[in-house]
A and B are shown apart, each in its own frame.
Chain A
Amino acid sequence: MDNCTTANTSVDLTKVKPYGDTMNDGQVEMAFTLPVPYGDEATEAARQLVKKMGCDEPSVVYSHDMGGGYTFFVVYGKCQHTIDYSNIHVAKVESDIMERDECGQYIEDNIKRDVIIVGATTGFDAHTVGIDAIINMKGFHGHFGLERFKNVVSLNMGSQVPNEELIAKAKEINADAILVSQTVTQKDIHIQNLTEMAELMEAEGLRDKMLLLCGGPRVSHELAQELGYDAGFGTHTYAEHVCSYIITEIVKRGRV
């Protein structure tokens, strides 16, 4: 019998796999539907599928007849794949995050004028939750929006704003940065819309005059850069993240 008095907490960061209750047990849980009628064959199909996905000991803990020849499963398995965590690189917005008050102070000290930011949810997308969270006074989850920031003048144009109108407004108010919010992602419509915006900015010769930022639940910094944006902000980013980035870039690029 093993005389083990401590848990094994040592991780090999070059071979990381999921953790359930024991190091390297590989435990994952999955839920999915197969287009096959409920029954023993369906359960076996789910088991074999999870095995093929690289999980040992697949165990169908629950299945339910969805009607019409569909069956729902909850399956556990032990993932056999590993990841070399020590070799991971992720594109991130490179700026120190300043708090709201620090942002105001930074602008006063380094830019010495109001920073102008305009934002909208563009295209046919009707969701304002993202742009409201960043710009509106109230903000989100206790993080105030740009309207509460000192030395920042911000304008929220709302949803379903055509790209052309957003650009026209940005020119009119001489914006330092444009924020584009996208929530609807079905059939990658956000990619199409964001790309069009970036192209229009390019065509208008504004890309070296204004910062172009995008945000949304399915937006990453990496995606944003691929599409020709300066930065992208996904979930768990708030006004202070966006503002910190904008004001440090303004200084870095000498647009004070």
Chain B
Amino acid sequence: MKSKLNLDPKVVDSARNSAAHIASSMQDFIDRHTTVSTERTILRLLGIDGVDDVETPLPNVVVDQIKEAGGLPRGVAYWIGNAIVQTGLTPQEIAEKMSSGGLEITKLETGSTKDAEAAIMPAIEESLNEINKEKNARAEYLERLGESKQPYCYVIVATGNIYEDVIQAQAAGRQGADIIAVIRTTAQSLLDYVPYGPTTEGFGGTYATQENFRIMREALDETGEEVGRYIRLCNYSSGLCMAEIAAMGALERLDVLLNDALYGILFRDINMQRTLIDQYFSRIIIGYCDIIFNSGEDNYLTTDDAYESAHTVLASQLINEQFAVVANIKDWQMGLGHAFEMEPSMENGFLYELSQAIMAREIFPNASLKYMPPTKYMTGNIFKGHVQDALFNLIAVWSGQSLQLLGMLTEAIHTPHMHDRYLSIENAKYIFNNARDIGSEVTFKEDGIIQKRAQFVLSEADKLLADIAEEGLFSTIEKGKFAGIKRPYEGGKGLEGVCLKDDYYFNPFITLMLGGAK
């Protein structure tokens, strides 16, 4: 397809090559390490669930005990496999026994890696079967119920109470929402464990727990049947438990998951080593289970200026894309993010925004681009806000976005009320339908404002990526080249959970999932 923006394919290739170099240069570091949360993910996939009498999740109990005994470099897959050989118990029984003080897993007689791996294989196969069952269920729903045209209408619920969330989510589904995201309670990304069970208390959102996922999935399936359209479920994994939440999402059939390779480092001050190791396993799971990941480039624009820093968004999209390629994620699963955050009083701001949105589509033709609504310049003037959201919707349909997080006219006032969502969906559907084919009808003036803007942003992104490739990702972040935020290599949260693997370490899920996705 001919570029409407007259983008130079050589510059696109050059930028993408730099990003690929950045991602692959991290792989050696990632392969040599594991983390407490990566190990807990293996346990969750093995079906270990539940909490002890002080509400500590069993995956944490097991990993903490192994870590304290100095056994973490060997990996939990070995220890659980070995314990199966030695005791004949199931992984869940082993975890329960460890929790009650009846078993010191590292004190058991230690057999060979080969025997441990063989012993754990049936549990791993069962786990992959469970995930495949959910993949098939999704495919079956999509086949039987169908889905809306893109851009999908994506709305959030955030009451703090999962049962209240269900009411809001089902109402939104009936009003036409295609994706429901349950916003997490504020600061869950900083918890080094995943809370357990259904929850009814949260601030600014609801805890991501496996049971909450299950409750919402069931509710959306019910509404999907009622309205004759599959409704996708979205949650958030960036933070200290990236891979664990991805595993829960795989088991409970989440369809979309926020998962950014750099977000935790930059915006939550999570240690960079920890994040890069965790994101790798989380993305392998995502790739395998057909979840669409969403990256968080929109966050750059809440701290930085959308006009001046547009190239950092593109650079981050390319890095996120290349980290996804390494994890064997398919193009259509890449929900690369960007946002409508131009200062509304800027002359021709709409043109620049349109240019950047079309640029994203041209550079990532098969990605499920995620477009985020105006938030920074929403003022409480709900009437103007509704117009800002309308312009955002127009650009979305024009540039062919995939996942449209609908703007709320009440942004900056409160988490959405039921009718706020209705008004947003109505706004989006009206514009999407009314301007459906505008993108294929309109071409742009050669060397006009729109073409030149995209060419400029692309060339700046190319330069930035070349710099990062030369400098190295860790060092770039240390120097504050992303979003103007500096993070030290050994700083931030979660570093104590990073661990060098020993020579006998194994994680069968990585091999099997990478193989299975091919």
Contacts and interface: CB of A to CB of B under 8 A. Distances in A.
10 contacts: A66-B418, A67-B171, A70-B418, A72-B418, A158-B485, A160-B268, A184-B204, A186-B160, A186-B204, A217-B413
Contact of B203 (A66, A141, A189): A189
A50 to B, nearest CB: 16
Interface string B303-323: 101000000000000000000
A184 B171 CA distance: 25
A158 B267 CA distance: 9
A128 B203 contact: no
Contact of A187 (B160, B175, B417, B419): B160
A64 interface: yes
Given A67-B175, A160-B268, A128 B302 contact: yes
B325 interface: no
Given A129-B302, A189-B186, A189-B204, 19 more contacts: A33-B419, A66-B175, A66-B422, A67-B170, A68-B170, A70-B171, A70-B418, A72-B419, A124-B186, A124-B187, A128-B302, A132-B303, A160-B187, A184-B203, A186-B160, A186-B414, A186-B415, A189-B203, A217-B413
B174 A31 contact: no
Interface string A21-42: 0000000000111000000000
Contact of A33 (B187, B380, B415, B418): B418
Interface residues of B, number: 30
A147 to B, nearest CB: 11
B419 A184 contact: no
Ranked 6 nearest A-B pairs via Cβ:
A67-B174, A124-B187, A72-B419, A124-B186, A33-B419, A184-B204
A83 to B, nearest CB: 21
A160 B203 CA distance: 14
Contacts of B175: 66-67
Interface residues of A, number: 25
A138 interface: yes
A128 B376 CA distance: 10
A147 B83 CA distance: 59
B412 interface: yes
B203 A217 contact: no
Interface of B is mostly: loop
Interface in A120-149: 124-126, 128-129, 132, 138, 141
B417 A33 contact: yes
B190 interface: yes
Nearest to B173: A67
A82 interface: no
Interface string A60-74: 000010111010100
A141 B376 CA distance: 11
B298 to A, nearest CB: 13
A174 interface: no
A48 interface: no
Interface in B278-322: 302-303, 305
Interface string B196-232: 0000000110000000000000000000000000000
Interface string B387-429: 0000000000000000000000000111101110010000000
A14 interface: no
B512 interface: no
A187 B206 CA distance: 13
Contacts of A70: 171, 418
Contacts of B380: 217, 235
Nearest to B375: A129
Contacts of B170: 67-68
B190 A160 contact: yes
Interface in B147-182: 160, 167, 170-171, 174-175
A38 B305 CA distance: 44
Nearest to A160: B187
B186 A125 contact: yes
A167 to B, nearest CB: 19
Contacts of A186: 160, 203-204, 414-415
Contacts of B343: 141
B483 to A, nearest CB: 10
Interface in B443-501: 485
A67 B167 CA distance: 11
B203 A126 contact: no
A138 B190 CA distance: 29
B186 A66 contact: no
A181 B187 CA distance: 16
A187 B267 CA distance: 24
A25 B419 CA distance: 28
Contact of A184 (B186, B305, B376): B186
Nearest to A235: B380
Nearest to B484: A136
Nearest to B376: A129
